[in-house]
Amino acid sequence: GIQAIRHTLQPTIGLSYAPDLSDTTLGFYGTYTSPVTGQAITYSRFGSVGGLASRQTQMLVTGSFLNRVAIKTMQDDSVSKPIELFTLTLSTSYNMAADSLRLAPVFFNLRTPMLDALEFNMTGAFSAYDQVLSADPATGRPAWRDVNTSIIEAGKGLARLTSLNLQMGSRFSSDGVSPTQTGRSAQDTASTRDDLRSRFERRVNTLEQESDIFGDRSPGWSPLAMPWEVSGQIIYSLSRPNPELTSQSLQAVIRGSVSLTPTTRVGVSGTVDLLSGQLINPIIDVTKQIHCWYLTLNWVPVGFNRGFFLRFGASAAQLRDLVIPKQSTPLFR
């Protein structure tokens, strides 16, 4: 049974300051008069990319709160096992220098490592402010904007959900069942395994095995070894920036690979839109290691990006630029 329950709270508090750089003499922003409404509109000279300068003074108090809940169960009379139930992270910021809309959206992340063979992750964002429909000062068209009235004051609940993302997945292989891999890729692992020090240690510590020419010490057959791996994910996304606009998607991501020989690997991947039944961007990969060279084929059979990409080059990291490519994709036709 359950022996103990532990809740860990790890807060992180920060403070940041950004001056008001909206003055047109500083070169970050400019103004123009809208031909539709006749109002003066301030715009960024660098667009919306980068966030080089703030249009208002910001004195942000940032906060992140990590909540971890775990239990300890008794396996037998003397052995106990800790199990982490879930981890919930909440983060937001508060602008003390603003005259309105001081509280930023509240972001949350929930994951459950309790299930050994299933990956579960949920992220999303809430807004504490209500929205009203008003005329856009640049175009004159009606547009939704946040107002300095909380959802609670408007009588619409506690908060307004603006985005939600849910992921569930698992991985099956010839070694067993495990959660979907989210760490380093197999290529990164291979590059670490084939670094200079690892190759030197294998060469120094290698032991020569006496060849069994006449088959006296072998069973006369070799078991068929073809390592394989299949992983799948269900991804649900919801976006609701305003009460009139709601978009959602439900997709299944499938990946698989099999090693036909120690030097030949075939992999497939694709995404299925479960709402429309459409197959999105299927890809077939074939990789062949030829001593110190490699040959890869990337083929997209259907869709806008259909075509192939063939590469033949050196496997050594120092000679990665030594490659012969051949491709037939929409970008190079």
Give the residue from 146, 147, 144, 142 showing the smallest Cα distance to 36: 142
Query: Which residue range is the domain that position 268 belongs to?
Result: 105-181+227-279
Give the count of beta carbons closer than 10 Å to the beta carbon of residue 210: 6
Give CA–CA dist 232/283, Å, rounded: 15
Q: Are residues 265 and 327 in the same domain?
A: no
Q: From 236, 257, 279, give the residue that closes a domain.
A: 279
Q: What pLDDT is stored for residue 87 in this prediction?
A: 93
* 35-59 burial: b if 16+ Cβ within 10 Å, else e: eeeeeeeeebeeeeeeeebeeeebe
249 and 171 both lie in a single domain:
yes
Tokens representing residue 272 in the block:
């299925």
Q: Rounded CA gap, 21 and 211, in Å?
A: 76
SS3 content of the chain, % helix, strand, coil (to 5): 5, 55, 35
One digit per residue, pLDDT tens: the chain, 333 residues? 788 899 999 999 999 998 988 888 888 888 888 888 888 888 888 776 556 788 888 999 999 999 999 988 877 767 778 888 889 999 999 999 998 899 999 999 999 876 667 889 999 999 999 999 998 888 888 999 999 999 999 999 999 999 999 999 998 888 877 776 544 344 444 444 455 666 667 666 666 666 666 666 666 666 677 899 999 999 999 999 999 999 999 999 999 999 998 899 999 999 999 998 898 889 999 999 988 899 999 999 988 888 899 999 998 888 888 999 998 877 665
| Cα–Cα distance, 35 to 140 (Å, whole number) | 10
Instruction: Give dist(CA 258, CA 170) in Å, integer.
Output: 17
Residue 61 lies in a domain: no
**What is the rounded distance in angstroms from the CA atom of residue 65 to the CA atom of residue 10?**
6
Residues 237, 168 share a domain: yes
109 plus 246 within the same structural domain:
yes
CA distance 236 to 320: 38
Task: Count up the domains in the chain and report the number.
Answer: 2
Q: Are residues 311 and 274 in the same domain?
A: no
Residues 235 and 163 in one domain: yes
pLDDT at residue 189, as a whole number: 42
Q: What is the pLDDT of residue 200?
A: 66
Q: What is the pTM of this model?
A: 0.73
